[in-house]
């Protein structure tokens, strides 16, 4: 039991899926897992553990933004010994070729800053996904007849952006989409030698201005959850 996760050590699986939205955690656990148990509700940041095809899985909300994700991932790694951590998040598309509801698998995550900035100082560390997980996610998507976009994303500290020039540079350099957590997940996984990946569904389009309603962000992103589960246990 930690300050932010009120579960016994044995209640948390080695494999953890991490949606930002705690109600997406509830929906995904109830939709994809068997023998589901609520294992955390501290601060309403719901976490569930169950089984998928015989494998134990925890689905734990991580909140919005890297400082929040950092709390949950630090505790999951240090206190619960999580080994494989896969973010299942929403994102905004930054390229014309990407459409609403497309899946993006994040190879790298560019940032302006992360909670790890304090230790990296002047170093520009390159947060990147675990290669085997990334390959397994792409294979899983393709086996389902889907073609995910694979490449770099932007992990931003803000949703309401006051620096359009930064987005312009991201678009210009081929960044696929923007979200708010993956870079610090990748930093922490590198530091503690764990496996991490971010699989994202496009909920907004920065070029067209399209946006999905919040109920769909909570309960309709099945494809990315299936890809994450298949990748974790391939
Ligand atoms: O849908 P989730 O997983 O929360 O991810 C995205 O949505 C939130 C912003 O609405 C941020 O957390 C961003 O990264
Ligand atoms: O961070 C995010 C998440 C979803 N959509 C966005 O535009 N930004």
- Tell me which residue has its CA closest to atom 4 in ligand 2: 91
Of the candidates 153, 184, 233, the residue with the CA atom closest to the CA atom of residue 74: 184
Q: What CATH number is associated with residue 104? A: 3.40.50.1580
CA of 188 to the centre of ligand 2 (A): 22
Per-residue pLDDT for 220 more than 90? no
Q: Is the CB of 159 under 6 A from ligand 1?
A: yes
Dihedral (C-alpha) 185, 187, 189, 193: value to the nearest 10 degrees? 180
**Separation CA 99–CA 77 (nearest Å):** 34
Is residue 4 one of the residues assigned to a domain? no
Q: Which ligand is nearest to the CA of 100?
A: 2
Could you give the CA distance from residue 198 to residue 189 in angstroms, rounded to a whole number? 12
Q: Looking at the domain assignment, is residue 2 inside a domain?
A: no
Minimum-distance ligand to the CA of 204? 2
Q: Can you give the residue range of the structural domain that contains 174? A: 9-232
Ligand 2 pocket, residue 178 CB under 6 Å: yes
Closest CA relative to residue 58, chosen from 94, 105, 8: 8
State how many domains the chain has. Answer: 1
Dihedral angle, C-alpha 134, 137, 141, 142, nearest 10 ° = 60
Cβ-based neighbours of 190, under 8 Å, separated by 6 or more: 125, 127, 128
Whole-angstrom distance, CA of residue 149 vs CA of residue 104: 5
- Quick check: CB of 177 below 6 Å from ligand 2? no
Report if residue 15 sits inside a domain. Answer: yes
Please give the distance, rounded to the nearest whole angstrom, from the Cα atom of residue 206 to the centre of ligand 2: 9
For 160-214, write each residue's pLDDT tens digit. 999 999 999 999 999 999 999 999 999 999 999 999 999 999 999 999 999 999 9
**Residue 1 within a domain:** no
User: Measured from the CB, is residue 90 less than 6 Å from ligand 1?
Assistant: yes
pLDDT for residue 110 is more than 90: yes
Ligand 2 centroid distance, CA of 164 (Å): 14
Q: Identify the three-state secondary structure at position 90.
A: strand
Atom of ligand 1 nearest to the CA of 91: 6
Helix ranges, the chain (H): 22-32, 66-78, 117-120, 131-143, 164-172, 182-192, 214-219, 222-232
Provide the pLDDT confidence category of residue 76 given band limits of 50, 70 and 90: very high
- d(C-alpha 157, C-alpha 154), whole Å: 10
Asked whether residue 161 is marked as a ligand-binding residue, the answer is no
Q: Of all residues in the chain, what percent carry a pLDDT higher than 90?
A: 98
Report pLDDT for 147: 94
Question: Quick check: CB of 181 below 6 Å from ligand 1?
Answer: yes
For residue 182, report the distance from its CA to the centre of ligand 2, in Å.
Answer: 12
């Amino acid at each position: 039991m930690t300050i932010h996760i009120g579960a016994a050590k044995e209640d948390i699986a080695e494999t953890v899926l991490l949606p930002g939205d705690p109600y997406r955690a509830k929906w995904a656990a109830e939709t994809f897992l068997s023998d589901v148990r609520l294992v955390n509700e501290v601060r309403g940041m719901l976490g569930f553990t169950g089984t998928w095809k015989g494998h134990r899985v925890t689905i734990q909300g991580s909140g919005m933004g890297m400082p929040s994700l950092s709390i949950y991932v630090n505790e999951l790694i240090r206190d619960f010994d999580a080994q494989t951590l896969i973010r299942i998040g929403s994102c905004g598309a930054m390229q014309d070729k990407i459409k609403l509801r497309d899946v993006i698998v994040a190879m790298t995550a560019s940032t302006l800053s992360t909670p790890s900035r304090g230790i990296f100082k002047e170093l520009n560390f390159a947060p990147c996904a675990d290669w085997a997980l990334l390959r397994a996610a792409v294979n899983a998507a393709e086996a389902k007849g889907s073609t995910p976009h694979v490449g770099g994303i932007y992990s931003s500290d803000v949703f309401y952006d006051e620096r359009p020039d930064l987005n312009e540079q991201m678009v210009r350099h081929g960044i696929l989409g923007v979200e708010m957590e993956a870079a610090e997940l990748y930093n922490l996984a590198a530091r503690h030698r764990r496996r991490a990946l971010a699989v994202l569904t496009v909920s907004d389009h920065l070029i067209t201005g399209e946006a999905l309603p919040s109920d769909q962000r909570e309960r309709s992103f099945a494809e990315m959850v299936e890809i994450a589960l298949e990748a974790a246990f391939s």
